[in-house]
Amino acid sequence: MQKNILKSIAGLVAASLAATGCFDMEEHPFTMLSPDNYFTNETSVKQVIANIYAQEQGDLSEFYWYAQELTADQIAWRSWNGGSWGWDSADKFVLSTHTWTPLSNYVNRIWSGAWTAIGLCNNFIADINSVGAETIGISQEQFDAYIAEIRTFRAYCFYNIFEVFGGVIPLSISADTETLPESASAGTTFEEGCRKVCNWMLTELDETNDLLPVNGSVNRCNQAMNRMLKMRILLNSEIFTGEPRFDECKLLAKEIIDGKYGTYSLAENYQEIYSANNDTECKEIIFAFSSDRTYNTKSTNMRNGPFMNYTFASYFDCTTVHSGWNCCAVTPSFDNSSNFYDQCVETVTNGEEVTYNIKAEMYDKEQAVCFLDPPYNDKLGAVHERFDPRDIRLVKPYFNGGSPTDWGGIFMDGVIRDHYGTGDVQLADADRNGMPLVYVDQIGNFQGKGNHPLQTVENPRWGETNSGIRAAKYPYYTEASGLDMAAADVVEFRLAEVYYTYAECLLREGDAAGAKEWVNEVRERYFSPEDWENGTTLADGRVLVGAKDQAPRGFSSEFDMDRMLSEWGLEFFDEGHRRRTDLRRFDKFTQGQWWFFGRATETGYDLPAKRDRKYEWFPLPDKALTANPGLVQNPYYN
């Protein structure tokens, strides 16, 4: 899609009010312009569609990201200032700890933010049908294709909210707001509501697929994207509806791989996926949200930002595309039995004067205990240590100033210096204000502030300002390069997901060797040819075989279900839409143990090793139930 059509039009803003009909019975939506006035030609149709895409992308980048990533095992929302809650009053702490309720602020915000794009889809379909192809000046075939596109995208929007709330969502597919929609489960069971929503989505996708383009723009719904969405539903059918459909899922995945719905290929270099111009240069991408600094700021507001400190631009020598939040961290790989910060920084006190000297640029992590090792033996969390140490994604971030793909590394660890680690040491804020900034792969209250002594395993409330390593999945480009971080489109569907889906289906059939082979088709790009084939001995004495056969630290050499789930997490780390559902499919979301669950305590919160299964789905917020009596609560929260 041309980036310059991502502009608002007056009628669309007013039409978006129709989406509130699920929640506020006092709302009286209206349309400022009639469809005849804003559907005047094909360009105007594309402008409306662009706004619909941008709206959903904004919701995905923030609210769905919270629901999918903060609740899972790879990213944590940590607090600071000696355990004080910071500006968000523990609103996101309940996500990381599985302690939310229908009254939780972000349960309400995730729900409320989900419906605008669906309302826009409904209005588009109703309005364009009232105008007709001839008035717009397009053929009936083009007209039908536009409706099929938005029906597909609407099914995608429903999938996103269904993944979180399940069968209690209403199937609101009408622009008419006089009648408030009922939950799909109204008058029946929650499970039957889930089946009803899934069947509707599958029907919508099947009815629209043939009208979509093959190998069309990656910024618009195409046949491969449609089929991938169906593939996701089939892959998760057992947890969605109680009926496993892995055989159908496997066949569909193979059709996509074989090019039946478009010609795609795995990127040889992973940087191609996330770089500027990825919409035209990366053949792995099947669908991505168009990104633009001017017209679609939502696409960059959340990109890397939750991990970054307030001076990150000095590290990357970049212009500030968004602010740093300094709130999120990669879930730690090590407990707190050794103080990694003190390994790197010497504190010198001379009277009232305190100075700090850098003793080492990196700490010796093996002085603490890894959560993948005994006595913990986790198979979840511990993100950095689940990577093979030879994986090229583990190098420190760099940008050589050449092409958009001439960068690498996604984790910030150890002493943090300006200019990609070559300049002055950056200073921390908050509870380590004025001290050298050293990111450590552990989370704990090492200074003992807030009247809370250091615990060997700590929950995310007590993470200091430097706790946890940070991630930059999308590159920052130096100001001197003339490249723009915002020019990289936000990837949502890519071929690697189809490979992993096919691999998982094989594994569930008992074909572990075949599953491993398909996963390795993707993994190989992260290693040099020598490391892929040959073994090595690490500095800590560990002996590794070639990367193609090396299991992650703490894992069996067999390619089993634990390994498959881990590979899902590594490949799609911080892509915002996979982890929670993946964990559920492997029965690990509430029943799996990682990091602090079952090992740490917090006043007023229960943090057991296994959580109540009601947290498999989110509850409806109380505000929604009050506004619309046609909605029914998830019975497991009653």
Q: What is the pLDDT of residues 467-483, one digit of tens each?
A: 999 999 999 999 899 88
pLDDT at position 295 is 62
Q: What is the mean pLDDT of residues 405-433?
A: 95
pLDDT at position 90 is 79
Q: What is the pLDDT of residues 427-465, one digit of tens each?
A: 999 889 999 999 999 999 999 888 889 999 999 999 999
Query: What is the chain's length?
Result: 638
The whole-angstrom separation of Cα 402 and Cα 404 is: 7
pLDDT category of residue 1 using cuts at 50, 70 and 90: very low
Of 151-155, 219-223, 295-299, 620-624, the poorest mean pLDDT is in 295-299
pLDDT category of residue 9 using cuts at 50, 70 and 90: very low
The top-scoring range by mean pLDDT among 30-34, 351-355, 367-371, 487-491 is 367-371
pLDDT at position 21 is 39
Percent of the chain past pLDDT 90, that is, above it, reads 76
pLDDT at position 2 is 41
Question: Closest Cα partner for 170 from 119, 206, 242?
Answer: 119
Q: Is the pLDDT of residue 368 over 50?
A: yes
From the CB of residue 30, how many other CB atoms can be counted at a distance below 10 Å? 9
Higher-confidence position of 166 and 176: 166
The whole-angstrom separation of Cα 80 and Cα 488 is: 32
DSSP one-letter code for 603: T
pLDDT at position 179 is 82
Which residues lie closer than 8 Å to 314 by C-beta, 6 or more apart? 418, 419, 423, 426
Of 228-232, 285-289, 316-320, 358-362, the poorest mean pLDDT is in 316-320
- Contact (Cβ atoms closer than 8 angstroms) between residue 290 and residue 279: yes
Of 166-175, 316-325, 443-452, 542-551, the poorest mean pLDDT is in 316-325
Q: Is the pLDDT of residue 35 over 80?
A: no
Token couple for 85: 């809650």
pLDDT at position 12 is 37
Torsion region of 287: left, alpha or beta (phi above 0 gives left; psi -120 to 50 gives alpha): beta
Q: What is the mean pLDDT of residues 338-352?
A: 96
Half-sphere exposure of 494 (CA within 13 A, CB side): 26
Percent of the chain past pLDDT 70, that is, above it, reads 92
pLDDT at position 81 is 56
**268: three-class secondary structure by DSSP:** coil
pLDDT at position 324 is 87
Q: What is the mean pLDDT of residues 187-196?
A: 97
Q: What is the pLDDT of residues 85-97, one digit of tens each?
A: 555 677 899 999 9
Q: What is the mean pLDDT of residues 568-593?
A: 92
Q: Is the pLDDT of residue 13 over 60?
A: no
The whole-angstrom separation of Cα 114 and Cα 57 is: 10
- Contact (Cβ atoms closer than 8 angstroms) between residue 300 and residue 293: yes
For the chain, give the mean pLDDT.
90
pLDDT at position 80 is 66
The whole-angstrom separation of Cα 24 and Cα 531 is: 58
Q: Residue 375, preceding bond cis, omega within 30 degrees?
A: yes
Question: Closest Cα partner for 524 from 335, 391, 368?
Answer: 391
Q: Is the pLDDT of residue 178 over 80?
A: no
Q: What is the pLDDT of residues 518-563, one digit of tens each?
A: 999 999 999 999 999 999 998 888 899 999 999 999 999 999 999 9
Residue that is written with structure tokens 């099914």 in the block: 155
Query: Rounded to two decimals, what is the model's pTM?
Result: 0.94
pLDDT at position 298 is 62
Token couple for 375: 């006595």
Q: Residue 66: what are its φ and ψ, rounded to 5°?
A: -60, -50
Q: Is the pLDDT of residue 291 over 50?
A: yes
Question: Closest Cα partner for 428 from 467, 377, 400?
Answer: 467
Q: Is the pLDDT of residue 8 over 70?
A: no
DSSP one-letter code for 485: G
Question: Closest Cα partner for 439 from 457, 420, 416?
Answer: 416
Q: Domains plus CATH for the chain? A: 3-188+613-637 (1.25.40.390)
- Contact (Cβ atoms closer than 8 angstroms) between residue 432 and residue 466: yes
pLDDT at position 221 is 97
Q: Is the pLDDT of residue 581 over 70?
A: yes
pLDDT category of residue 301 using cuts at 50, 70 and 90: low
Q: Is the pLDDT of residue 359 over 80?
A: yes
Q: Is the pLDDT of residue 7 over 50?
A: no
Which 3-state string (H, E, C) describes 407-476? EECCEECEECEHHHHCCCECECCHHHCCCECEEECCCCCCCCHHHCCCCCCCCHHHCCCCECCEECCCCC
Token couple for 128: 């364009």
Angle ∠(179,180,186) on CA atoms, nearest 5:
120
